[in-house]
Amino acid sequence: MMRGAIAFFGILLIAAAQPLTIDVNRSTITVHVGKAGLLSAAGHDHWVSAPISSGSITESPAPAIEFTIETARMMVRPDPKVSARDQIQIQKDMEEMTLESKTYPQITFRSTRVESLGDAQWRVTGDLSLHGITRPVILTAKRSGDVYSAQTVLRQTDFGIKPVNVGGGIIKVRNQVEIDFQIFARPR
């Protein structure tokens, strides 16, 4: 009986140490792009869906996370206040002017350090590669069931991206973008 219990717990420990695959069908990364400038009231906020194309999470013995986003799959969510023609232009501007998707087809994140904060929370430090530039980022991730969530704010200019502006800067995209992660994991 005792050997059976030890074997059972050994199997549980081995399973917990196995990397989990990010469920790309359920996981979401949403980027909120705000507006700025003298006439910012005339502009629009935008929410961009950034689907994860691949990735994994390991909780123990050495916690880690990594994922990849294909920039060509990122989509500006439809806004009922924006005409269909303007919506198409906003999408095109994001792909061609902001992300330069043909030149920089992927965004990657790879953790370099994960510290447990207890109670299913971690401080995650890692390298984010975006627009041909890799920079360190730090965020706090929380787990509830099979979903890991986190929020962070990035400055576009830190990654060599010039925020779009209209009318000589009277209406422009804010340099800071807010990013919300909802990442679901499943065993490999």
List pLDDT tens digits, range 88-113. 988 998 999 899 999 999 999 999 99
The b/e string for 64-73 (b: 16+ C-beta within 10 A; e otherwise) is bbbbbbebee
End-to-end Cα distance, the chain: 30
DSSP strand pairing (28-36 vs 20-22): unpaired
Whole-structure pTM value: 0.82
Mean of the pLDDT values across residues 136-142?
Answer: 95
Ordered by where they begin, the domains of the chain are 20-187 (2.40.128.110)
Mean of the pLDDT values across residues 107-124?
Answer: 94
Tell me how far CA of residue 64 lies from CA of 163, 172, 180, in angstroms: 32, 37, 19
For residue 143, is pLDDT > 80? yes
Its sign, for the CA torsion 127, 155, 106, 187, is positive
* Residues 173 and 33: beta-carbon distance below 8 Å: yes
* Residues 114 and 148: beta-carbon distance below 8 Å: no
Its sign, for the CA torsion 176, 182, 63, 20, is negative
Task: Give the Cα separation of 161 and 69 in Å (integer).
Answer: 17
Mean of the pLDDT values across residues 5-10?
Answer: 36
DSSP state of 8: H
